[in-house]
């Protein structure tokens, strides 16, 4: 791909940059140049009049196959949602179901401007194969629960995923180790995972303090908060760690995370919908903890549209602190791009629009009543835009969607497969 995109509003997400009108030149998988009125030879020239170009959104915490369970278990408390609905349904999923559920999530993500995501689930080879075919960028990990002795099967599967897929799909796939959560991982197996991550130089992806019940459980077992438990295990000593949720964190907990490699994936829509609470995002940011954005799975969040997460993140902090200046639009957008890239440990390649970085970007159609007039483009993107406003999605220089038409997914077949499989999975539950 050697393409010149002209006459667009460019939102780089680089620190200190302000949006400007100009052109962007893509060659192969790389951004070659960005600037006003570029004069370059290109195989294709797109007139982007009325479009905004920004880095692709990065979903820092997902469970892609749960798209098949969207709307199946709404309006339940978390443990009821999990034990009565999610776990029985997931037990009915075949590897082929996982593949098609992942594709359904990827289609939604591409159509709403997400170019990369972090996933933790089972049957991860099927998800990796779907990522390879579809063309997205992903950090994949096999979720590991250590409440029963499985003979090391989960860890074997996790290491197999890493061996087969780390760095594959033209470098679009990276991997992490994923102990599920403090309440499902006793100290000894968790310490082993930490040692492996340090030896293999791999990031760790783990849930943390999503519910008050988790906090109470860890307090009862270990007389610690979940964050203290992970800290004392040594999780933050050397490893790059992606913490999902971080809703119920004390000031002391936040102090323990200060200086950590990695950061926290905030999932405001899922947390709101499950009544989990409001994460202390602003307090974490004040301690220089990186906070990105994720959706969680569609089984809890209902949507994996990252524009909804951007809105929710900003509005919740303003409400929680009673201060409309908290988490302004530009900062919320950076959470979904540059900061989420840092959580996935891929910020050297993506997350901002810069010459030399990978060509992961989206074009947002601003020619709509709800996106006019354009006084402050970042405010419109954060507070007014939604996923349906994304016109084009490009990953690694490959067009995955152009003018709202998916280029790498047969949408009709995907929807047919999803409908058949979802009906079978939930039958009788």
Q: Residue 208: beta bridge partners?
A: 245
Known binding residue 61? Answer is yes
Q: Residue 173: beta bridge partners?
A: 138
DSSP helix, strand, coil percent of the chain (3-state; round to 5): 40, 25, 35
Residue 150 contacts residue 94 (beta carbons within 8 Å): no
Give buried/exposed letters for 22-50 (b at 16+ CB in 10 A, else e). Answer: bbbbbbebbbbbbeeebeeebeeebebeb
- What span, in angstroms and rounded, lies between the C-alpha atoms of 306 and 105? 12
Let me know if 370 is exposed, middle or buried by CB neighbors in 10 A (0-12, 13-18, 19+).
exposed
Known binding residue 70? Answer is no
β pairing state of 398-402 and 405-406: antiparallel
Closest residue by Cα to residue 228 from 265, 258, 253:
253
Known binding residue 154? Answer is yes
Known binding residue 266? Answer is no
Known binding residue 41? Answer is no
Residue 244 contacts residue 61 (beta carbons within 8 Å): yes
Residue 136 contacts residue 400 (beta carbons within 8 Å): yes
Q: Residue 35: beta bridge partners?
A: 23
- What span, in angstroms and rounded, lies between the C-alpha atoms of 269 and 288? 23
β pairing state of 390-395 and 361-365: antiparallel
Main-chain dihedrals φ then ψ at residue 173, nearest 5 degrees: -105, 125
Known binding residue 354? Answer is no
Q: Residue 320: beta bridge partners?
A: none
Known binding residue 180? Answer is yes
Half-sphere exposure of 126 (CA within 13 A, CB side): 17
DSSP letter at 56 equals P
- What span, in angstroms and rounded, lies between the C-alpha atoms of 341 and 321? 27
- What span, in angstroms and rounded, lies between the C-alpha atoms of 281 and 316? 9
- What span, in angstroms and rounded, lies between the C-alpha atoms of 299 and 12? 32
Q: Which residues are annotated as a binding site for Zn(2+)?
A: 61, 63, 207, 296
Q: Which residues are annotated as a binding site for substrate?
A: 90, 142, 154, 180, 210, 296
Q: Which residues are annotated as a binding site?
A: 61, 63, 90, 142, 154, 180, 207, 210, 296
């Amino acid at each position: 791909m050697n393409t010149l995109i002209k006459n667009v509003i460019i939102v780089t997400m680089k620190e200190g940059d302000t949006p400007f009108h100009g052109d962007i030149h893509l060659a192969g998988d790389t951004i070659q140049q960005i600037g006003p009125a570029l004069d370059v030879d290109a195989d294709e020239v797109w007139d982007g009049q009325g479009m905004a170009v920004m880095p692709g959104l990065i979903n820092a915490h997902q469970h892609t196959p749960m798209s098949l369970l969207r709307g199946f278990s709404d309006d339940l408390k978390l443990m009821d949602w999990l034990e009565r609905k999610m776990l029985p349904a997931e037990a009915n999923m075949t590897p082929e179901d996982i593949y098609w559920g992942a594709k359904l999530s990827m289609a939604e993500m591409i159509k709403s401007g997400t170019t990369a995501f972090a996933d933790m689930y089972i049957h991860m080879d099927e998800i990796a194969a779907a990522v390879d075919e579809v063309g997205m960028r992903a950090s994949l990990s096999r979720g590991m629960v250590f409440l029963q002795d499985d003979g090391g099967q989960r860890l074997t599967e996790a290491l197999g995923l890493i061996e087969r897929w780390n760095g594959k799909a033209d470098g679009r796939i990276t991997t992490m180790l994923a102990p599920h959560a403090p309440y499902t991982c006793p100290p000894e197996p968790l310490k082993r995972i930490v040692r492996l991550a340090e030896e293999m130089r791999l990031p760790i992806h783990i849930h943390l303090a999503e519910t008050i019940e988790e906090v109470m459980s860890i307090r009862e077992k270990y007389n610690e908060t979940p964050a203290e438990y992970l800290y004392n295990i040594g999780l933050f000593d050397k490893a790059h760690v992606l913490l999902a949720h971080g809703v119920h964190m004390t000031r002391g907990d936040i102090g323990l995370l200060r200086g950590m490699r990695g950061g926290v994936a905030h999932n405001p829509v899922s947390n709101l919908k499950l009544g989990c609470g409001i994460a202390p995002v602003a307090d974490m940011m004040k301690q220089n903890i990186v906070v990105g954005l994720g959706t969680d799975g569609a089984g809890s969040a209902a949507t994996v549209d990252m524009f909804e997460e951007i809105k929710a993140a900003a509005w919740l902090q303003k409400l929680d602190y009673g201060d409309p200046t908290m988490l302004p639009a530009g900062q919320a957008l950076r959470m979904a791009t540059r900061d989420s890239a840092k959580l996935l440990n891929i910020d050297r390649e993506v997350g901002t629009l810069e010459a030399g970085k990978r060509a992961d970007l989206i074009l947002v159609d601003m020619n709509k009543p709800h996106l006019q007039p354009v006084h402050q483009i970042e405010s419109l993107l954060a507070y007014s835009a939604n996923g349906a406003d994304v016109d084009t999605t490009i990953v690694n220089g490959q067009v995955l969607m152009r003018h709202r038409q998916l280029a790498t997914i047969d949408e009709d077949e995907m929807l047919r497969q999803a409908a058949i499989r979802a009906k079978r999975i939930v039958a009788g539950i």
